A and B are shown apart, each in its own frame.
Chain A
Amino acid sequence: MTQITNHSEIQKKSFRRQNKRSFFASLAWGILAFIFMMGSLEVLAHTKYINKVFLTRSVGSYHTQFEIKWFALQHYVDKNHGVDVVILGNSMVNTGIDPVIFEDKYYSLSGEKLRVFNFGVEALTVEPLSVLAQLINERYHPGTIILFTEMRDYIADNGTEVTRQFLDNSWMRYQMGIPSLEGYLVDHTAIFKYLLTWRNWSSASFLDDQRTVLYRQANVTPQGYEPDRNQDVFDPSQPSVVDPAQRDKFALAANFEIAPSRALNLQEVISLNTTGVHVIVTEMPVYPTYFAYFGPASVRTQYLQDLGLLVQNAGGVFVSAIPYTDIPLSGRVDDHHLNVDGAPIFSELLAEQLYTACENHQSCIYPASSDTQP
C-alpha cells in the first residue's frame, strides 16, 4: 500500500525502465492514434454506418428543434436536389403547416410541383429568424421564403434569452463571419457535428435530453412538419388579466408597439429580395382571443397598418391571414397553435390563398432558379 514518492528512488526506477521504452514515444503514439481515430471517424461520418454509432447531430446550438430542422433541411435538399419554398416562423408554423399537403394542393391548382420545407422553430422571433433567413438563403438559394410573423415578434423584450442561446455558439458566430477554430471544424467536418451531441455526455439530464431529441427527430417529417397530436377540445374563452397563469402574457403585451430593432429585423428578411429570393410576409389564422393580451382591437388594427407599411416600404409583399373561422375549433390546440387536424386544413387554404394571390398579380411563389444544392 505504501507508495514511492521520493524522487531519487523514482529516478532509479525510471532509469531501469528507460532502457525498455520511451514514455514520450508512447505519448506521441497515443496522440497519433487519437488523430488517426478522429480521421477514421470523419470517414465513417460520411457513410451510413455512422448512424449505428451516433443517432443525432448538432451544431452546438442549444436549440434542439432548430438543429433537427437544420439537418432535416440539409437532408431534404440533398435528396430533392434543392428547395423551392422555405416557410419560416415559430412553433405556430412548425405544427401548423404540412408541406406535402401544401405542395399537392398548389400542384392541383397550378400544375406546378414545388419543393417546400417547413422551417418553423419554437420560440424564434423575427430577430433570430432574420439571421436564419439569410443563412438559408446563402446556403440553399430557395426561390421563395414565406415568413410567418406575429405581434409578439415586435415586442423588444420577447424571446431575448432564446435569441441569445440561438446566436451565441461558435458555429453560428462562424456563419455570421466571426472566425473560430471550433466554428470552422463544426462547419467543415462531419464528425464534429456528431461529437457535439455528446459534448454534454456528463450532464445529469443527458440521457433524457437525448431521448427527447430522438423522439422529436422521429416525429418531424422529411419536409419539416412536426404534427401536434393533442386533440383535446380547445377552450375559446377570453383570457382574464386577473388569472395568475395569464398575467405574464398580459404584462408582455401591454403598451404594444413595434420595436424599431425588430422592425429592422423584418426589413433585413425582406431585403433578401435583392439577392433573387422572393419574400412573402404573412400571418397564421390565430383565434381572436389571442389578441386580448394586446388590449383593445384598435391596437391590432394599428399594428396591421404599421406592419403593412413596413413591408411595403422595404419592397416586400404582405399577405393577410386567412379568416380564423376557416379553421374549426377541433383543429386548434390553443388560441394560436393548430393540431394534426387543423394543420392539413390550413395547409390547403394557404396553398389556395397564395395561388389566388398570384392569379390576382399580388404575389407569386417562385421555384428555385435551378438545382441549388450548396
Chain B
Amino acid sequence: MKVTSLIFFAASFAAALVYHRLPRKWANVWLLALSAAFIATWSWQFILVLALFTSVNYGLARKVESSQGARKGWAAGGIVFNVAFLFLLKYNHFYLPALQKELATLGWTSSTSLVSILIPIGLSFLVVQAISMLLDIKNGRVAAEKDFVRFAVYMVYFPKLLSGPIERMRQFLPRLDNPLSMDRSLLERSVALILIGLFRKIVIADPLFNMIPADAFVNPLSFPGQNLIMWLLAYSFGLYNDFAGYTSIIRGVSLWFGIELTNNFNLPYLSRNFTEFWNRWHISLSQWLRDYIFFPTARSLMKRFSPREHWINLVLPPMITMLVSGAWHGLAWNLVLWGALHGLYQVVERLFSLRRNAVATDELPWWRQSLGTVVTFILAALAWVPFRMPVKIALQYWQGMLHWIPPDWKGLDLMLAGEVPHLSWTALKLPSPILIGVLIIAVVFDIQQSKGRREDFILDWSRLHIIAFVVVLAFAILLAALSDNVTPFVYQGF
C-alpha cells in the first residue's frame, strides 16, 4: 500500500479513531495488527520473515539483559545475527548467482527465487534499529522489553516500517505508552505535515526525477554539461524532497495515533558545513552512526593515539563512519565512494577547525556563512553522483559537467517565433524551463520553512497563502493521478 494513496490515509485515520477509543491494554495489540495488515498489503511472506526477525531479536534482547557475565558476547551475537540477516536477504546478489549455479548442477533450479520474495520492506532500517536496541541494553541505557507485543510494535510500527525514521527504544516506548491526546492542534499539525510531505513528493520530487532523461545517468557524455548540471540539481533536490516528503507524511499519520516520530530532515541544503549537514540530513541515521560508530571508534582510537589532534584521530572516525553509511545504503563501490567523499569532506573540515584562529560557524560574518552553505551544497550535490550511478559512469558524469556546449539561441528565437515548429527543445541544448521552475519552487519552499522556523510552517501562513498552496497541490495531485509516471520513494529501496 502506497503511503501517498487515499486508501492509506483513509484506513489510517479510521484505525486511529478506533485506537483512541480502545482500552489501553488493547491499544498495542491494535497497532501490531495494523502493522501486520500494512505489511500484508506488500506481501504476506513479509509477515513471516518479520515475525521471525522480531522474535529472535526479542529473545536476544532478553538474553543480553539477563546474562550478566556474557552481555558483550550476546550483544555481539545479536549484531552478527542482524547483519547476517541483512546480508542473507538483501545482499543476496553476492552469493545467490553462485548458489543458483551449484543448485542447478544438482538439478534444483527453482528454489533461490524464494530469497527474493522474502526480502522484507525497510530491512536496512529494521536492522540498524535492532542493533541500537541490543547495544543500548548491553550498555544499560535501556531495559529489555518483556512485553512481546510492545516490543513488536517498536520493531514494526507501520508508519516507520518502510523507511524509518530509525527510532531508539528508550525514546519510542515512552511515546507509545503516553500517546498525545487527539486535539485540534495535534490534528492541525498532523494534517500540515501530511500536506507538506505530499507537496514535497508530488509537486517537487516526482517531477524533478521524471524530468531527468533516463539516459543521463547511463551515458552522460552524450549530453551537454549545462544540462548535466541541471539534472544533478534536479536529482539533489528530488532525493531530498522525496525522503523528507515521505518522512513528513508518515510523521503526520503517526500523530493521528498520538505517537511522535523523530524528525529526519531539517533543511539540510541550508547547512553551512558538513558537520551541520549530517545533523540535518537523515537525522535518525546520522545520530545512529554518530552514537554507535563514530563515538566508539573515536574513543577507542584516542586511547591508543594521543594527542587528540593526532592525524589518526582526525581522519579515521569520520572516514569509518561515512564508509559504514555508504555500506548501509548498499554494498557497491559507488556507495563506498559516496561515503568516502563525505568522510573526506568532514576530515578537511576537522583540519580547518584545528587552526588557531578558527571561529564557530555562528560567529562568522554572514557572507562566510552563506559561502559555506553554497560550498557545502555544491560538494554534497557532487557526491550524489556516485550515490546514483556506478563509479565508471559517475566519473564520466563529473567529466561531462565540464563539457559545455553553447546553446542554440538562434534556434530558440526561431522556435519562439514559430518559424521552425519541428525543432525539438532537446536540440537547443538548453535545460528545461519547467525543471528550472520546479527547482525554484523547491528552494522557495525551503526558504519558507527556514523563515517559519518550524517543520509545520504552513500553519503560520495567511489564509491566502494556504488557499494558494492547496490549489497548487490539488492541481498537481490531479495531474499525477491522470499520469502514468509513478515514482516510488527512493529510500523504500533500502
If A5-B263, A215-B421 touch, whether A207 touches B434 (CB-CB below 8 Å) is yes
Query: What's the Cα separation between A29 and B188 when bound, in Å?
Result: 15
The answer to whether the Cβ of A361 comes within 8 Å of any Cβ in the partner chain is no
Stretch in contact with the other chain, from A79-87, A143-151, A196-204, A349-357: A196-204
Interface string of A31-62 (1 = CB under 8 A from B): 10110010000000000000000000000100
The answer to whether the Cβ of A10 comes within 8 Å of any Cβ in the partner chain is yes
Could you list 5 A-B pairs, sorted by A, with CB under 8 Å?
A: A7-B186, A23-B188, A207-B424, A215-B421, A218-B421
The answer to whether the Cβ of B145 comes within 8 Å of any Cβ in the partner chain is no
B445 CB contacts on chain A under 8 angstroms: none
Query: What's the Cα separation between A244 and B482 when bound, in Å?
Result: 40
Query: What's the Cα separation between A195 and B432 when bound, in Å?
Result: 20
If A60-B482, A195-B478 touch, whether A23 touches B459 (CB-CB below 8 Å) is yes
The answer to whether the Cβ of A27 comes within 8 Å of any Cβ in the partner chain is yes
If A29-B463, A208-B426 touch, whether A10 touches B207 (CB-CB below 8 Å) is no
Interface string of A185-217 (1 = CB under 8 A from B): 000000010011011111111111001101100
Contact, CB under 8 Å: B470 / A34: yes
The answer to whether the Cβ of B456 comes within 8 Å of any Cβ in the partner chain is yes
Which residue among A5, A31, A204 has the maximum number of chain B CB atoms within 10 Å of its CB?
A204
- Chain A residue total in the interface (Cβ 8 A): 46
Query: What's the Cα separation between A260 and B442 when bound, in Å?
Result: 56
Residue from B270, B415, B423, B467 within 8 A of A29 (CB atoms): B467
Stretch in contact with the other chain, from B285-293, B304-312, B379-387, B447-455: B447-455
The answer to whether the Cβ of B111 comes within 8 Å of any Cβ in the partner chain is no
Query: What's the Cα separation between A26 and B461 when bound, in Å?
Result: 10
B210 CB contacts on chain A under 8 angstroms: 200, 202-204
Which residue among B434, B460, B470 has the maximum number of chain A CB atoms within 10 Å of its CB?
B470
A13 CB contacts on chain B under 8 angstroms: 454
Interface string of A2-23 (1 = CB under 8 A from B): 1111010011011101100101
Interface string of B42-85 (1 = CB under 8 A from A): 00000000000000000000000000000000000000000000
B470 CB contacts on chain A under 8 angstroms: 26-27, 29-31, 33-34
Residue from B266, B424, B466 within 8 A of A3 (CB atoms): B266
Query: What's the Cα separation between A13 and B184 when bound, in Å?
Result: 13
Query: What's the Cα separation between A164 and B50 when bound, in Å?
Result: 39
- Chain B residue total in the interface (Cβ 8 A): 56
If A10-B185, A23-B191, A214-B421 touch, whether A30 touches B459 (CB-CB below 8 Å) is no
Residue from A7, A24, A198, A208 within 8 A of B425 (CB atoms): A208
Q: Write the chain B residue with the least CB distance to A210.
A: B425
Residue from B191, B422, B485 within 8 A of A200 (CB atoms): B485
The answer to whether the Cβ of B5 comes within 8 Å of any Cβ in the partner chain is no
Kindly count the residue-residue contacts between A and B in the assembled complex, taking CB atoms under 8 Å apart: 137
Name B160-187 residues within 8 Å CB distance of A.
180, 184-186
A23 CB contacts on chain B under 8 angstroms: 188, 191-192, 459, 466
B426 CB contacts on chain A under 8 angstroms: 205, 208
The answer to whether the Cβ of A1 comes within 8 Å of any Cβ in the partner chain is yes
Query: What's the Cα separation between A212 and B463 when bound, in Å?
Result: 41
A18 CB contacts on chain B under 8 angstroms: 184-185
List of 4 A-B pairs having minimum Cβ-Cβ separation, nearest first = A30-B470, A202-B207, A26-B466, A207-B425
Q: Write the chain B residue with the least CB distance to A185.
A: B482
A235 CB contacts on chain B under 8 angstroms: none
If A195-B479, A202-B211 touch, whether A30 touches B267 (CB-CB below 8 Å) is no
Shortest CB-to-CB span from B408 to chain A, Å, is: 14
Q: Write the chain A residue with the least CB distance to B210.
A: A202
The answer to whether the Cβ of A138 comes within 8 Å of any Cβ in the partner chain is no
Residue from B212, B263, B456, B483 within 8 A of A199 (CB atoms): B483
Shortest CB-to-CB span from B438 to chain A, Å, is: 8
Query: What's the Cα separation between A205 and B454 when bound, in Å?
Result: 37
The answer to whether the Cβ of A182 comes within 8 Å of any Cβ in the partner chain is yes
A203 CB contacts on chain B under 8 angstroms: 210-211, 485
Contact, CB under 8 Å: B434 / A201: yes
Contact, CB under 8 Å: A201 / B479: yes
Query: What's the Cα separation between A3 and B453 when bound, in Å?
Result: 5
Contact, CB under 8 Å: A211 / B422: yes
Shortest CB-to-CB span from A201 to chain B, Å, is: 6
Contact, CB under 8 Å: B483 / A206: no
Residue from A14, A37, A204 within 8 A of B185 (CB atoms): A14
Q: Write the chain A residue with the least CB distance to B421.
A: A215
Interface string of B409-442 (1 = CB under 8 A from A): 0000001000001111110000010100010000
Contact, CB under 8 Å: A4 / B425: no
Contact, CB under 8 Å: B421 / A211: yes
A207 CB contacts on chain B under 8 angstroms: 424-425, 432, 434
B191 CB contacts on chain A under 8 angstroms: 23-24, 27
**11 extra A-B contacts, CB within 8 A, seeds A5-B263, A199-B479:** A15-B185, A21-B463, A23-B466, A29-B467, A30-B471, A200-B210, A202-B210, A203-B211, A204-B210, A208-B426, A211-B424
